[in-house]
Amino acid sequence: MIKKTIQDALNQQINEELFSAYLYLAMAAQFSEMNLGGFSHWMEKQAQEELEHAMKFYHFINERGGRVELQAIKGPQKEWDSASRMMTESLAHEEHITECIHNLVELATREKDYATMNMLQWFVNEQVEEEAGVTEIVEKLKLIGERGQGLFMLDRELGARD
């Protein structure tokens, strides 16, 4: 049986993951409007992954005999100035999520909840990958700027994400 403190924190994380999906979907829509189909595709995939993350927490709470309690999802920002702006904000958002995951690990450790600590390990590793992936795009955008052939090539590269 899962402790109430852990259950509440994991429910809060479901909300964080669903908000992440909302945020990335809003960015995907703007990329699409900017005719950057590759960036848009990459962001849609990112949004789908966030839904999967939310479902991992959802199933874990259920498996442990806890209660899933869904909260309202806040609306994401609707517009950004540029492609780089969106990518730097998604990096900042991933850093925030990493902090949330680390706080959960600390809570589970304090509560001696070994099953939750073990489940969270997957997220600790995932966040290393997530931050690295977004950082790479941010750095490439710094190199090539917002226009021209470089942006076209990067858009094509991002469009190939599985």
Of the candidates 100, 103, 115, 105, the one whose C-alpha atom is nearest the C-alpha of residue 61 is 115
Interface segment toward ligand OFO; rule CB under 6 A; list 64-72, 77-85, 122-130, 148-156: 122-130
Report the half-sphere exposure of 105 (CA within 13 A, side-chain side): 14
| CA–CA dist 139, 84 (Å, integer) | 9
Spatial distance between the Cα atoms of 104 and 106, rounded to a whole number of angstroms = 5
In 3D space, the residue among 93, 83, 108, 9 whose CA is nearest the CA of residue 46 turns out to be 93
* Contact between 113 and ligand OFO per CB under 6 A: no
Which of 123, 137, 141, 158 is in the footprint of ligand OFO by CB under 6 A? 123
Site for ligand OFO in 75-94 (CB under 6 A): 94
* Residue 118 beta carbon to ligand OFO: minimum distance, rounded to whole angstroms: 16
Residue 107: which residues within 8 A CB-CB, separation 6 or more? 5, 6, 9
CB 116, min distance to ligand OFO, A: 15
Q: Taking a C-beta distance cutoff of 8 angstroms, is the pair 20, 50 a contact?
A: yes
Stretch that binds ligand OFO, among 80-88, 113-121, 123-131, 148-156 (CB under 6 A): 123-131
Q: Which is nearer to ligand OFO, 94 or 155 (CB)?
A: 94
53 binds ligand OFO (CB under 6 A): yes
Report the interface residues with ligand OFO, using CB under 6 A: 17, 20, 50, 53, 94, 97, 123, 126, 130
